[in-house]
A and B are shown apart, each in its own frame.
Chain A
Amino acid sequence: MGTLYEDIVAYGGEVFGEEHMETLRECVQCGKCTGGCPSGRNTALRTRKLFQMALLDLREEIFNAPELWFCSTCFTCYERCPKGVKTTDIIRIIRNLAAKEGHMSVPHRMIGVYVLKTGHAVPIGPDQMKLREAVGLESQPPTTQKYKEQLEQVQKIFRTTNYDAMIDFDWDTMNLRGMEKGGKK
């Protein structure tokens, strides 16, 4: 583990390329990101401050900041940054690093449960099948939720990348470990 900046470059670099991540250092703290941030009007998210904290290596402070999760990834700041800092991608990578260190809320982990169970973050139920019939569609779409062998491929990916372990998924109950059925604590 290096500094947060080094981790961002190393980890994010695997996906976006290191140069993409290194733009974080170009930040001149002008605040254009924060000024146009739709989240910032309603939440404590201050993208400029977040990046300053990242550059100052305030890892724990960032990972424990609830506002880290209030970015809607709208890319407004990404488009507007005068120094070409790849803002949204950097925020996503910071979140990745936070999640790897166990900073992940139960509702966020539950999305993983739905995908592991059905292949969908928003699965279909009997009521919705009726709605499909009402507009003249097949009651169930031909997706992973319908075909078990296809779903297993997605599950396999989650096992390979250890996503199941990251959210503490229990394959026996097909739920988060220690959770009642339905995911409510």
Chain B
Amino acid sequence: MTDGDLGLTYAYFLGCITPNRYPGIEAATKRIFKEFGIETKEMVGASCCPAPGVFGSFDMHTWLPVAARNLSIAEEMELEIYVTCNGCYGSLQEADHLLKEHPKLKERTNKVLNEFGREYKGTTKVNHSIVILHDVIGLDKLKERITKPMNDVNVAVHYGCHFLKPREVRGHGSSETPYILEDLVKVTGAKEVEYKDKLMCCGAGGGNRTADTVQSLEWTRQKLVNALMAGCDCMVHPCAFCHLQLDRGQAEMNKAFGTNFNFPILFATQFLGLALGLSEKECGLDIQTTTMPEKLLK
């Protein structure tokens, strides 16, 4: 499967969770992008984004130069960035936005970067992988290549928070009536099911998971119960950090609450990957906590 018609190249900002916990997300995304002629270049020397709700909560003046350093790597590559985590998206896009808005802040930040010869210029752009799927590749092209339609699958869409909000920075329209992920699910033939508190946070962000893991899992439990009650077969989302909370969180939850959750969690490109003909293994769905039912793999 090769098709070079788009002829685009992006710098892939990996972050932490994607490459270090869920390489399936990385593999599936790279494979799909390649399928549609989008070349992925590695960002050598990239670090943690760093987590916006975590480092942003402790010291903005540390968070910002670390993020700016990551941006400067892509600037040197003269490429736009794509991400597979709302945390990375939130962090890098917000940092880029703030540094463009406030020249003094840019000056102060560059002073820190200059110490090791880097500079933030403001010449790159931070994209979320699902926006590239939706807007650059497009729903029509995606639809053409669907080889394994998900016709009888009921999907609970989970957005995470920092993809949509704050909308004044993200620019994806209303944060209460989003459409991008819904469109990507529907293009596979699956049914996008409305469920209680669909837009609720997974519970992990802002240092909440670190502050009190069991408490944060209670949010996750509520979210998953709501999806199950609505008759969903799986949950599809755009965020590696949510993936950690929703997938590995189920094992932690089962231990903490004595439950036996095994509700399939898929990153958007893993779900699309299956519909586009990739195997469970190619999408790394065999190496995570929750297991995939036949329905999704047939």
CB interface residues, A 60-76, toward B, < 8 Å:
66, 69-76
Confirm or deny: A1 has a beta carbon within 8 angstroms of a beta carbon on chain B. no
Nearest-CB distance from B73 to chain A (Å)?
A: 9
Nearest-CB distance from A83 to chain B (Å)?
A: 15
Of A70, A108, A154, which one neighbours B66 at CB under 8 angstroms? A154
CB interface residues, B 177-210, toward A, < 8 Å:
197, 199-201, 203-208, 210
Of A69, A75, A76, A92, which one neighbours B208 at CB under 8 angstroms? A69
Please state if A111 and B210 are interface contacts (CB–CB under 8 Å).
Answer: yes
Please state if B59 and A107 are interface contacts (CB–CB under 8 Å).
Answer: no
CB interface residues, B 56-91, toward A, < 8 Å:
56-62, 64-66, 69
Segment of B39-47, B134-142, B258-266 in the binding face: B39-47
Please state if B14 and A141 are interface contacts (CB–CB under 8 Å).
Answer: yes
Could you give, for residues 9-20 of chain A, a 1 whenever the CB lies within 8 Å of some chain B CB and a 0 otherwise?
Answer: 000101111000
- Write out the residue numbers on chain B whose beta carbons fall within 8 Å of the beta carbon of A91: 57
Nearest-CB distance from B20 to chain A (Å)?
A: 4
Segment of A25-33, A120-128, A169-177 in the binding face: A120-128
Nearest-CB distance from A169 to chain B (Å)?
A: 12
| B-side interface size class | 35 or more
Residue of B nearest to A128 (CB): B20
Known: A15-B105, A122-B20, A137-B19. 16 other contacts (CB 8 A): A38-B197, A42-B219, A73-B56, A73-B206, A76-B199, A79-B166, A79-B176, A111-B54, A115-B66, A128-B21, A137-B26, A142-B44, A153-B69, A153-B116, A158-B62, A161-B62
- Write out the residue numbers on chain B whose beta carbons fall within 8 Å of the beta carbon of A135: 23-24, 26-27, 281-284, 287
Q: Which residues of A contact B (CB under 8 A)?
A: 12, 14-17, 38-39, 41-43, 66, 69-76, 78-79, 88, 91-93, 95-96, 99-100, 104-105, 107-108, 111-112, 115, 119-124, 128, 131-132, 134-137, 141-144, 147, 150-154, 156-158, 160-161, 163, 166
A136 to B244, CA, bound (A): 21
Nearest-CB distance from A176 to chain B (Å)?
A: 14
Of A42, A147, A166, which one neighbours B215 at CB under 8 angstroms? A42
A139 to B100, CA, bound (A): 36
- Write out the residue numbers on chain B whose beta carbons fall within 8 Å of the beta carbon of A93: 60
- Decide if the interface of chain A is mainly helix, strand, loop or mixed: helix
Q: What 6 pairs between A and B have smallest CB-CB spacing?
A: A150-B45, A75-B165, A73-B53, A73-B206, A119-B47, A74-B201
Please state if A131 and B23 are interface contacts (CB–CB under 8 Å).
Answer: yes
Residue of B nearest to A105 (CB): B211
Please state if B19 and A124 are interface contacts (CB–CB under 8 Å).
Answer: yes
Q: Which residues of B contact A (CB under 8 A)?
A: 14, 16-17, 19-21, 23-24, 26-27, 42-48, 50-62, 64-66, 69, 98, 101-102, 105, 108, 112-113, 115-116, 118, 161-162, 165-167, 175-176, 197, 199-201, 203-208, 210-212, 215-216, 218-219, 222, 244, 281-284, 287
- Write out the residue numbers on chain A whose beta carbons fall within 8 Å of the beta carbon of B208: 39, 69-72
Please state if A121 and B166 are interface contacts (CB–CB under 8 Å).
Answer: no
Nearest-CB distance from B251 to chain A (Å)?
A: 15
- Write out the residue numbers on chain B whose beta carbons fall within 8 Å of the beta carbon of A131: 23, 284, 287
Please state if B45 and A142 are interface contacts (CB–CB under 8 Å).
Answer: yes
Contact of A76 with B201 at beta-carbon distance under 8 Å, contacts A96-B57, A104-B58 already known: yes
Of A17, A128, A161, which one neighbours B65 at CB under 8 angstroms? A161
Contact of A79 with B167 at beta-carbon distance under 8 Å, contacts A124-B20, A128-B23 already known: yes
A163 to B205, CA, bound (A): 21
Interface centre among B55, B61, B108, B199 (most CB of A within 10 A): B61
- Write out the residue numbers on chain A whose beta carbons fall within 8 Å of the beta carbon of B212: 70
- Write out the residue numbers on chain B whose beta carbons fall within 8 Å of the beta carbon of A161: 59, 61-62, 65, 112
A153 to B73, CA, bound (A): 12
Contact of A74 with B47 at beta-carbon distance under 8 Å, contacts A69-B208, A157-B66 already known: no
Nearest-CB distance from A172 to chain B (Å)?
A: 21
